[in-house]
Structure 1
Amino acid sequence: MTIDAKLVATLGAIFFAYCSYSIWTSGRMHRGEFSSSLGRLADQLREANKTSSDGTGESSAGSSPYEPSVADVLVIKAMLNKALSIPPEIVDTIVDIAEYWPHTTTFSDSTVVAGTNYPAENVFLLRSPPLGLHNWERVSHTETSSMDKKPPRPQPANEEFSTDDFQELIASPIPMLAQPCRRIVFTIRSHDQGWGGEFGNHGTYNGSWTWCDVGLERWCKPPTPTQTDATGQQTQQQHDRPTLQLDDLCTVLPEVEWDPEAKAHVFVHPLHPRDDLKIQCNVMAEREPILHRVVWSYTDDIDPERDAEAAAQQLASKGRGTATGNGRFVRDLKLGDVVTIWAKARFQGWSNHVESVKMDVYYAV
């Protein structure tokens, strides 16, 4: 659907927002009634999102939800804010409730295997473009295709850049949020070696030693070579803003440490999966690939410390990490962050066969 067709589909919802806000500010509508009105507006915008992309404005069976671009979102927000004088904070609420966000997509359909009988038990699969930097390719002169699968370097994190440092680089028409991520959708097609483990666990996620983890990279301030100042003192000069070059990415997850024997930094991959990083494990002893779609949202609220039963039923029983349902990872992502995915396998004979992997990252503007 074109931007013009999309605007037509949402004009009624926008007019409804304007009328509701005008009545509320005049004192003729209670706060609760106004909140209900916002909810109805968001529902209308969400339904408009579901219209087909053929430009007819009519929903069709099997059609995918409309995925707005950055321009789409900015135009809708400008109409609500400027043309109808709705305050920015109310506009942001409407857009968030409607889940009307732009997103980036990275995808790989090259089969990758992690395991003890293969080159490595921990294999890098994919990385996302920098969060919220919708014109980063032009600024960095880097194509997404060359970024997706380039193996990460174990470079420890250092002092972080500020949100303002990224604002200057992306030249956005509006300031970006410091923590703009709203949702991550992982779509993984994979299977294990097809045998092994306790027989009673076959066909379940229990006892599986093949899985995928989430990782995180961030542009920090790596020092340049030591220089001597006018007084003869040795100083460390640092970049004053992010370079957006892949070689300058630092690794936050997995952790990085110095290996005195190798005389280099190395990744630290725990033996057991971390409950806060495990995206999805494989069904045990299943030779055929299974497609898993895992959604992490900033509004998720399943805390294993508060409700262990819910974490077990809604997460662990589906092969997810029990601490991945609290929304913390998504909420904590910062402007410019890069999300990565790793394939994992442990112990003799176990192997994780990942046939395809896709990552959709949604963010607010």
Structure 2
Amino acid sequence: MFRWPPIARPFPTLGGNGNQAPEGQPPDAPNLDDEFYPALFDVLKVRHILLWKIRPEGLPAEVVDMIVDVAEYWPSVEFAMEERRVIRKDVDEVLLCTTPLCYDEKTLDTPSPKLLPHRTAHPCRKIRFHVVSHDQGGYNELHRLGTNADAYNGSFTWFDAEVIHNAHATPQKEAIQEYLHPEVRHPQHFGPDNPLLLPRQNALQRNRTRVQRPQRHIVVWHYLDGIAADSLEAEQLERSQGRGRNTFAGEQVRELGPGDSIMVWARSRFPGWVNYVNALSVRVFWVV
């Protein structure tokens, strides 16, 4: 199985993996609206300039690849949830599913979907999730807002991200449509042996426990991530950020291939618990 070497990447408290409320953000909190995201044409044009327009003979392709990757000058596509969702006790609901990686969305319903330019068999480089959500609230909310150490302890509303391989193929496309547009969403019974009863170590993001104010979570999966799930660092990040400890190693990104999609689930468990999802978006970056 293909694997990149595990290279640790720093996790800032307020950068790509920060957790902030939509209101009253600190001055250095990221403003997603101010970021520039190059289109595929922009990236191809820059590569052409570096390869052919720098005299006398242009830069070697290997050097151009390094420049593009260090600058993270990658094309990307963003997907957003259309409306607010409310996920109640013992309900699992799909919020969105990304377009198959490196496929032209306009051609997915044709007999021959078109592949977009990409480099390597595993071209994904970064996935950024932006979630604004909260649970039903409850006691001691001010304490929980101010204490990161136990802010996510005992949370029973959360999000998972599932990889759908070969999502451009007909059987997977039909299954995805059934998940995205169910006629009726009934509560299920989750027994003690059901792996989805509680948040797992691969949980995308938990809500802060019993906090009714909307909270913003920005979760970034990067191909250079390399924090082992059984490390003390992963344990500390899980407690302080509400992410599953298995999501810090970067394997989810490094193993994505063309045609793979990311499906985001919202979950809620036990009487009285509600997952209010105000907004959700996913931006997928790949290398050209």
Query: Which TM-score applies when normalising by structure 2?
Result: 0.72
1:355 matched to which residue of 2? 278
Superposed displacement of residue 243, structure 1: 4.9
Give yes or no for contact 1:192–1:352 (8 Å, CA) kept in 2.
yes
Note the alpha carbon deviations across 1:9-39, whole angstroms, 9 max, x for none. Answer: xxxxxxxxxxxxxxxxxxxxxxxxxxxxxxx
* From 250, 262, 267, the counterpart of 1:339: 262
Does 2:48 match 1:78? yes
1:320 matched to which residue of 2? 243
Does 2:66 match 1:93? yes
1:190 matched to which residue of 2? 133
2:97 matched to which residue of 1? 127
Instruction: Return the letter of the residue paired with 2:121.
Output: A
Aligned pair in 2 of structure 1 residues 90, 105: CA closer, same or farther (>3 Å)?
A: same
Tell me how far apart the structure 1 counterparts of residues 171 and 46 of structure 2 sit (CA, whole Å).
30
Superposed displacement of residue 341, structure 1: 0.6
Equivalences for residues 1-365 of structure 1 within 5 A: 64-84=34-54, 85-116=58-89, 120-133=90-103, 135-137=104-106, 139-141=107-109, 169-170=113-114, 172=116, 174=117, 176-195=119-138, 202-203=144-145, 204-219=151-166, 242-243=169-170, 246-247=173-174, 270-276=196-202, 278-305=203-230, 307-308=231-232, 310-365=233-288
Give yes or no for contact 2:87–2:274 (8 Å, CA) kept in 1.
yes
Aligned pair in 2 of structure 1 residues 321, 99: CA closer, same or farther (>3 Å)?
A: same
Aligned pair in 2 of structure 1 residues 248, 298: CA closer, same or farther (>3 Å)?
A: same
Superposed displacement of residue 303, structure 1: 1.1
Find the residue that maps to 2:279 and give its secondary structure: strand
Superposed displacement of residue 171, structure 1: 5.3
Tell me how far apart the structure 1 counterparts of residues 79 and 212 of structure 2 sit (CA, whole Å).
26
Higher alpha-carbon Rg? 1
Tell me how far apart the structure 1 counterparts of residues 156 and 72 of structure 2 sit (CA, whole Å).
35
Give yes or no for contact 2:102–2:118 (8 Å, CA) kept in 1.
no
Give yes or no for contact 2:100–2:259 (8 Å, CA) kept in 1.
yes
Instruction: Return the letter of the residue paired with 2:228.
Output: D
Find the residue that maps to 2:102 and give its secondary structure: coil
Tell me how far apart the structure 2 counterparts of residues 353 and 171 of structure 1 sit (CA, whole Å).
36
Instruction: Return the letter of the residue paired with 2:35.
Output: P
Between the two proteins, the alignment pairs up a number of residues equal to: 234
Superposed displacement of residue 104, structure 1: 0.6
Note the alpha carbon deviations across 1:267-302, whole angstroms, 9 max, x for none. Answer: x862122212x1111111111111111111111121
Superposed displacement of residue 346, structure 1: 1.5
Give yes or no for contact 1:189–1:290 (8 Å, CA) kept in 2.
yes
Q: Relative contact order: is structure 1 or structure 2 higher (C-alpha 8 Å, sep ≥ 6)? A: 2
Superposed displacement of residue 347, structure 1: 1.7
Aligned-residue identity in percent: 34
Tell me how far apart the structure 1 counterparts of residues 72 and 176 of structure 2 sit (CA, whole Å).
30
Aligned pair in 2 of structure 1 residues 304, 122: CA closer, same or farther (>3 Å)?
A: same
Give yes or no for contact 2:100–2:166 (8 Å, CA) kept in 1.
no
Note the alpha carbon deviations across 1:113-164, whole angstroms, 9 max, x for none. Answer: 2222xxx52111111111112x231x2248xxxxxxxxxxxxxxxxxxxxxx
Give yes or no for contact 2:108–2:114 (8 Å, CA) kept in 1.
no
2:24 matched to which residue of 1? none
Tell me how far apart the structure 1 counterparts of residues 243 and 122 of structure 2 sit (CA, whole Å).
24
Gaps in structure 1 of 5+ consecutive residues? 1-61, 143-167, 221-240, 252-267
Query: Which TM-score applies when normalising by structure 1?
Result: 0.58
Note the alpha carbon deviations across 1:64-100, whole angstroms, 9 max, x for none. Answer: 2321110111111112223343222221111011000
Gaps in structure 2 of 5+ consecutive residues? 1-30, 146-150, 179-193
Instruction: Return the letter of the residue paired with 2:133.
Output: S
Aligned pair in 2 of structure 1 residues 136, 324: CA closer, same or farther (>3 Å)?
A: same
Superposed displacement of residue 182, structure 1: 0.8
Instruction: Return the letter of the residue paired with 2:173.
Output: L
